[in-house]
A and B are shown apart, each in its own frame.
Chain A
Amino acid sequence: MTDTPVAIAAYTAVSALGDGCAAHTTALRTGQRGLRRNDYAPAGVPLPCWIGRAAGIEDDPAPSLDTRLHRLLARALRQDGLSDALARAVRDRGAARVALVLGTSTANIESSERAYRRLEHGHLPADLRDPRLHHLHGPAEWLCAQTGIAGPALTLSTACSASAKAFGLAARLLTGGIADAVLVAGADSLCASTLYGFNALELVDSLPCRPFDQARAGLSIGEAAALALLCRVEHAPQAPRLLACGESSDAHHLSAPHPEGAGAAHALHAALRACGLRAADFDYLNLHGTGSRQNDAVEAAMVARLLPGIRASASKGATGHTLGAAGALEAVLTLLALHHGIVPGSVGCHAPEPAIAAQLVVDPQPQPLRRALSFSFGFGGSNACLALARAEP
């Protein structure tokens, strides 16, 4: 059984690389690194590491319910005509026929952290009691109120695969006839929970992260909001396409990958099966590539075995690991690579892991591309593989 492709009518992102498609395209062309020394320290002294921080977010409040995550989302809505395209969909299709699938790992937990730093007699301070600040679906409720979306609103939270899987669920809402347009959003902001949590797991590099480099020593946390407006192909025949979203479970460990990458391989095969194509039909692969010693080693071996010869690169050395936003952010980067004919480089990698050295692209190369894959793997052994295609000329 093959999946029906769906159109990606509009897309954009806000990350450490800047605001919108133009900034991200320039970064892809030049191999720009968006990481900076950690200066995000809401709880005192900053951890000695590097982060991917979206510039200027501090001075750009979000309407209605101001949180760091909502600032990222509000800014993303203003890029590349996204909110206009969404408003057109709401007007032409009806608000109840436009759905939202948000992928996030931590939602507005930065606000819960602020509240816990100044509890009043063991209770949330009066100004931080809005429930949307404290539960995972809060940002989706806020986003619906901001955009007029009145169709199904779903929050998917499977750690670092969340917003890749959101594309799969959005496609099923479209092909199942439940919605005529779906906004896919991936968003996670910097927060203490993930910085100190990954630090406790000893998974944070003290230097800027170096995915697939032999000397890599962990990840750098980043923040992003990435948006994509999906519809059925007949409503946007000129747009790039989501061909399939393959998904699987590792069934191995909550925080370590399967040693042979079995779960990731299942996700890849599910994606290929769903679009009825072979690995050789793809000419670029966006790797998950966090910079963690173990994860990158497993991914390198799996890719060399199952996708030999396909040029591959990792973008987290440029953006940081944006966790629940990573799947959507990397889908946007991959769509830009397809559109502009750029094979992106692997920022931060200087001496590639031998297993993948033959196919790992270190410096960006101009090259026409037709189809690409993007991997996202998360804690809990949650894997996703997106298959994307360039707009037909």
Chain B
Amino acid sequence: MNTHLQARVVGLGLCAPGLPDRDAFATWLRDNGRALPPEREAQPIAARMAPAERRRAPRSIRLALEAATQALGARDPARVGMVYCSAYGDMSNTDIILDTLAQAPTAVSPTRFTHSVHNAAPGYWSMAAGSHAPTSALACGREGFGSALLTALLEMHARALPQLLVCCDAADAGALADAAPCPLDFAGALLLAPVAESSCMALLRARVLPGAAMPTPPRDMRLHPWWSGNPAAAALPLIEACLAARAQDFTWPLGSGTLLALDCEPVR
């Protein structure tokens, strides 16, 4: 059974080291003379968050919320769901908790523990957005982008609600980096809608097929270190195609013998 799942991309967001938003990224893409920014950490603003929460929230959460805020644009967030995907969560927070547990377990910080839940970012988002809409938090390994995109498409159709798909991984930290290397921050977000809208950038048609996926690298060779370094940057080639208004086909793995095939077609 090859059910087609369709969606429109009606918003994009991106936050990365040296390129804090979608417009900065689009400008950089057009300028072939510029190299990839060398920093590890992004500087997310996350303007939608209340000031007290913005101060309290770790960088990894602000990173996700910055990309989500850009993709949402001026839309009412109460009518938008969120599928958040991160391979490694907030590794810096996990590293500090693991270190404390090894040294003096009763000294674990309650705030750090609260922030250690994988759905902390969607939790903060629902507060910042004042939205009771359902959110999900996935972790599907280094190659989890296809699984997150499939989940967002299924949620969108089941609830007839637009979905923010937010992929975010923060730079690695501590000994965990031996098993989960991630040399830089990256967050990408797509706002997916079930029907055509004025802000529509691309039409997506997805199918689930048996077989092995052929990972699609970004067209712009300068982006390869980000794409291969950060699991969330698996979203980059699709974001790149949407920004360039270019038709392109993609495949991503969903499991050991299944793939997500996607046709992305620009909409004028």
Contact (Cβ within 8 A) B87 A124: no
Q: Which residues of B contact A138 (CB under 8 A)?
A: 141
Interface centre among B106, B116, B117, B138 (most CB of A within 10 A): B117
Interface 0/1 of A136-159, CB less than 8 Å to B:
111011001100011111111111
- Which of B28-36, B122-130, B214-222, B243-251 lies on the face that meets chain A? B122-130
**A63-84 CB contacts (< 8 Å) to partner B:** none
- Which of A26-34, A190-198, A325-333 lies on the face that meets chain B? A190-198
Interface 0/1 of A148-174, CB less than 8 Å to B:
011111111111000001000100110
Contact (Cβ within 8 A) B257 A178: no
Contact (Cβ within 8 A) B114 A196: no
Contact (Cβ within 8 A) A169 B151: yes
Interface 0/1 of B98-131, CB less than 8 Å to A:
1101100110111001111111101110110111
Q: Which residues of A contact B98 (CB under 8 A)?
A: 109, 112-113, 116, 193
Contact (Cβ within 8 A) B139 A155: yes
Contact (Cβ within 8 A) A381 B116: no
- Option from B118, B129, B132 in Cβ contact (under 8 Å) with A266: B132
**A224-239 CB contacts (< 8 Å) to partner B:** none
Contact (Cβ within 8 A) A116 B99: yes
Q: Does B144 have its Cβ within 8 Å of any Cβ on chain A?
A: yes
**B-side interface size class:** 35 or more
Interface centre among A130, A136, A177 (most CB of B within 10 A): A136
- Option from A44, A134, A152, A382 in Cβ contact (under 8 Å) with B123: A382
Q: Does B74 have its Cβ within 8 Å of any Cβ on chain A?
A: no
Contact (Cβ within 8 A) B106 A196: yes
Q: Nearest A residue to B158 by beta-carbon distance? A: A172
Q: Which residues of B contact A119 (CB under 8 A)?
A: 102, 175
**Would you give the shortest CB distance from A63 to chain B, in whole angstroms?**
17
- Which of A52-60, A92-100, A209-217, A312-320 lies on the face that meets chain B? A92-100
Q: Does B27 have its Cβ within 8 Å of any Cβ on chain A?
A: no
Q: Does B5 have its Cβ within 8 Å of any Cβ on chain A?
A: yes
**A-side interface size class:** 35 or more
- Which of B63-71, B176-184, B186-194 lies on the face that meets chain A? B176-184
Q: Which residues of A contact B138 (CB under 8 A)?
A: 154-157
Interface 0/1 of A173-211, CB less than 8 Å to B:
101111000000000000011001111111000000000
Q: Which residues of B contact A40 (CB under 8 A)?
A: none
Contact (Cβ within 8 A) A153 B123: no
Q: Which residues of A contact B87 (CB under 8 A)?
A: 135, 137
Q: Does B238 have its Cβ within 8 Å of any Cβ on chain A?
A: no
Known contacts A159-B117, A172-B158, A380-B122: A151-B258 contact under CB 8 Å: yes
A1 to B156, CA, bound (A): 13
Q: Does A133 have its Cβ within 8 Å of any Cβ on chain B?
A: yes
**B58-114 CB contacts (< 8 Å) to partner A:** 87-89, 94, 97-99, 101-102, 105-106, 108-110, 113-114
Q: Which residues of B contact A248 (CB under 8 A)?
A: 132-134
- Option from A95, A105, A175, A254 in Cβ contact (under 8 Å) with B257: A95
**Would you give the shortest CB distance from B62 to chain A, in whole angstroms?**
14
What are 29 residue pairs bridging A and B, where the CB atoms are less than 8 Å apart in the complex?
A: A43-B105, A47-B106, A95-B257, A105-B117, A113-B102, A116-B99, A124-B179, A129-B178, A134-B180, A140-B140, A140-B141, A150-B255, A151-B255, A152-B208, A152-B258, A154-B138, A155-B138, A157-B137, A159-B117, A173-B154, A177-B1, A193-B116, A201-B113, A249-B126, A249-B134, A253-B127, A266-B132, A379-B114, A379-B117
